Amino acid sequence: MLLCAPALSAQPEASGENWLHYGGTEKSWRYSSLSQINTANVKRLAPAWMLQTGDPDGGLQVTPIVENGVMYLSTSRNRVYAIDAKNGAELWQYRYEVPKDFTLIYGPWNRGVAIAGGRVFMGTIDNHVVALDQKTGRELWRVQIEDSRQCGCNITAAPLVVKGLVVTGVTGGDSAHRGYVTALDQKTGRVAWKFWTIPGPGEPGHETWAGDSWKFGGGSSWMTGSYDAELGLIYWSIGNPAADFHGASRAGKNLYTDSVVALEADTGKLRWYHQQIPHDVWDFDTAYENVLLDADVKGTRRKLLVNVNKGGIAFVVDRTNGKFINAWHVVKNLNWVKGVSETGELVGRNEPEVGKTKVLCPSIGGGRSWNQAAYSPRTSLFYTTGIEWCQEVTAQEEKPSEGQTYFGGTFKLVAPPDKDPHGHLGAYDPVTGKRQWTYRSKYPLLASQLATAGDVVFTGDVEGNFFALDARTGARLWNFQTGSGHRGSPIAYSVAGRMYVAAPTGLGSALAGLMSQLWPETEKFRGGSTLVVFALPEEGK
Amino acid sequence: MRRWNWLVAALPLAAQTPLAGQVAAGQLEEGARIFQQGCAVGYCHGAGGAASRGPRLRGRTFARDYLIRTVANGLPGTAMPPFKGRLKEAEIAAVADYVMSLRDISESAAAQAVVASASGTIHTAPADPGRELFFDAVRGTRCGTCHALDGLGAAIGPDVLKPDKSRTPKTVRLKTGESFPGVVLGTEGGSTVVYDLTGDPPVRRSLLATEIAAISAGSVWKHDTGRGRYSAAEMRQIEAFLTKARGR
Question: Is A285 touching B (CB cutoff 8 A)?
Answer: no
Out of B36, B122, B203, the one facing A188 most closely (by C-beta) is B203
Which of the two residues, B63 and B122, has the higher pLDDT score?
A: B63
pLDDT digit string (tens) for A450-483? 999 999 999 999 999 999 999 999 999 999 999 9
Predicted confidence band at B139 (pLDDT cuts at 50, 70, 90)? Answer: confident
Mean pLDDT of chain B: 81
User: In the predicted model, is pLDDT for residue B71 greater than 60?
Assistant: yes
Fill in the amino acid letter for B53. R
**A517:B78 CB<8 A:** no
User: In the predicted model, is pLDDT for residue A85 greater than 70?
Assistant: yes
Fold topology of B10-116: Cytochrome Bc1 Complex; Chain D, domain 2 (1.10.760)
Q: Which helix (H) or strand (E) holds B70?
A: helix B64-73
Search chain A and give the residue with CA nearest B148.
A147
List the single range of A66-80, A202-216, A342-356, B49-63 with lowest mean pLDDT: B49-63
pLDDT value at position B3?
Answer: 33
Predicted confidence band at B5 (pLDDT cuts at 50, 70, 90)? Answer: very low
Spell out the domains of chain A, with CATH numbers in brackets.
Answer: 13-535 (2.140.10.10)
pLDDT value at position B51?
Answer: 79
B130-246 architecture in CATH?
Roll (2.30)
Question: Is A206 touching B (CB cutoff 8 A)?
Answer: no
Out of B50, B78, B206, the one facing A412 most closely (by C-beta) is B50
User: In the predicted model, is pLDDT for residue A124 greater than 90?
Assistant: yes
Segment A368-379 mean pLDDT: 98
User: In the predicted model, is pLDDT for residue B106 greater than 60?
Assistant: no
Total CB pairs under 8 A between chain A and B? 165
pLDDT value at position B17?
Answer: 41
pLDDT value at position B122?
Answer: 47
Best of B58, B73, B119, B121 to mutate (most A CBs within 10 Å, chain A): B119
User: In the predicted model, is pLDDT for residue A381 greater than 90?
Assistant: yes
Segment A443-447 mean pLDDT: 98
**B78:A412 CB<8 A:** no
Predicted confidence band at B117 (pLDDT cuts at 50, 70, 90)? Answer: very low
pLDDT value at position B105?
Answer: 65
Q: Which of A169, A142, A167, A139 is nearest to A153 (CA)?
A: A169
Best of A412, A514, A525 to mutate (most B CBs within 10 Å, chain B): A412
Q: How far away is chain A from the Cα of B9, in angstroms, using its nearest Cα? A: 14
pLDDT value at position B227?
Answer: 65
Best of A125, A147, A203, A356 to mutate (most B CBs within 10 Å, chain B): A147
pLDDT value at position A378?
Answer: 97
Question: Is A55 touching B (CB cutoff 8 A)?
Answer: no
**B198:A147 CB<8 A:** no
Distance CA A162, CA A185 (A): 10
Predicted confidence band at B141 (pLDDT cuts at 50, 70, 90)? Answer: confident
With contacts defined as CB-CB under 8 Å, which chain A residues touch B48? 412
pLDDT digit string (tens) for A273-290? 999 999 999 999 999 999
Q: Cβ neighbours of residue A516 under 8 Å, at least 6 residues apart?
A: A522, A523, B51, B56
Measured from the Cβ of residue B127, the count of other Cβ atoms closer than 10 Å reads 12
Chain A, 370-399: which have a CB under 8 Å from a chain B CB? 392, 394, 396-399
**B144:A394 CB<8 A:** no
User: In the predicted model, is pLDDT for residue B11 greater than 60?
Assistant: no
pLDDT value at position A397?
Answer: 92
**B41:A283 CB<8 A:** no
Out of B51, B151, B205, the one facing A517 most closely (by C-beta) is B51
pLDDT value at position A513?
Answer: 83
User: In the predicted model, is pLDDT for residue B8 greater than 70?
Assistant: no
Search chain A and give the residue with CA nearest B124.
A401
Chain A, 448-507: which have a CB under 8 Å from a chain B CB? none
Q: How far away is chain B from the Cα of A135, in angstroms, using its nearest Cα? A: 15
Mean pLDDT of chain A: 95
Search chain B and give the residue with CA nearest A104.
B79
Q: Which of B48, B52, B80 is nearest to A513 (CA)?
A: B52
Which of the two residues, A399 and A136, has the higher pLDDT score?
A: A136
pLDDT value at position B108?
Answer: 45
Tell me if A192 sits within 8 A of A165, measured CB to CB: yes
**B79:A103 CB<8 A:** yes
pLDDT value at position B85?
Answer: 87
Q: How far away is chain A from the Cα of B156, in angstroms, using its nearest Cα? A: 11
Q: Based on the number of CB atoms within 10 Å of its own CB, is B150 exposed (0-12), middle (13-18) or buried (19 or more)?
A: exposed
Tell me if B95 sits within 8 A of B34, measured CB to CB: yes
Would you list the domain boundaries of chain B? 10-116, 130-246
pLDDT digit string (tens) for A476-500? 999 999 999 999 999 999 999 999 9
Predicted confidence band at B127 (pLDDT cuts at 50, 70, 90)? Answer: confident
pLDDT value at position A491?
Answer: 98
Question: Is A517 touching B (CB cutoff 8 A)?
Answer: yes
Segment A187-197 mean pLDDT: 97
**B44:A194 CB<8 A:** no
User: In the predicted model, is pLDDT for residue B19 greater than 50?
Assistant: no
Buried b (16+ CB within 10 A) or exposed e, A381-417: bbbbbbbbbbbbbbbbbbbbbbbbbbbbbbbbbbbbe
User: In the predicted model, is pLDDT for residue B193 greater than 70?
Assistant: yes
pLDDT value at position B52?
Answer: 78
Instruction: Report the first-to-last Cα separation within chain B, whole angstroms.
Output: 32
Q: How far away is chain B from the Cα of A527, in angstroms, using its nearest Cα? A: 14
State the catalytic residues of A.
283
User: In the predicted model, is pLDDT for residue A382 greater than 80?
Assistant: yes
Q: Which of A522, A483, A480 is nearest to A506 (CA)?
A: A483
Q: What percent of chain A has pLDDT over 70?
A: 98
Which parts of chain B are beta strand (E)?
170-174, 179-188, 191-196, 203-208, 212-216
With contacts defined as CB-CB under 8 Å, which chain B residues touch A200? 138
Out of B144, B199, B201, the one facing A188 most closely (by C-beta) is B199
Search chain B and give the residue with CA nearest A282.
B42
With contacts defined as CB-CB under 8 Å, which chain A residues touch B36? 396, 410
User: In the predicted model, is pLDDT for residue B158 greater than 50?
Assistant: yes
- Cross-strand pairs, A423: A387, A441
With contacts defined as CB-CB under 8 Å, which chain A residues touch B206? 138-142
Q: Cβ neighbours of residue A406 under 8 Å, at least 6 residues apart?
A: A174, A175, A176, A177, A216, A218, A242, A243, A244, A398, A400
pLDDT value at position A181?
Answer: 98
Q: How far away is chain B from the Cα of A59, in angstroms, using its nearest Cα? A: 13
Segment A364-391 mean pLDDT: 97
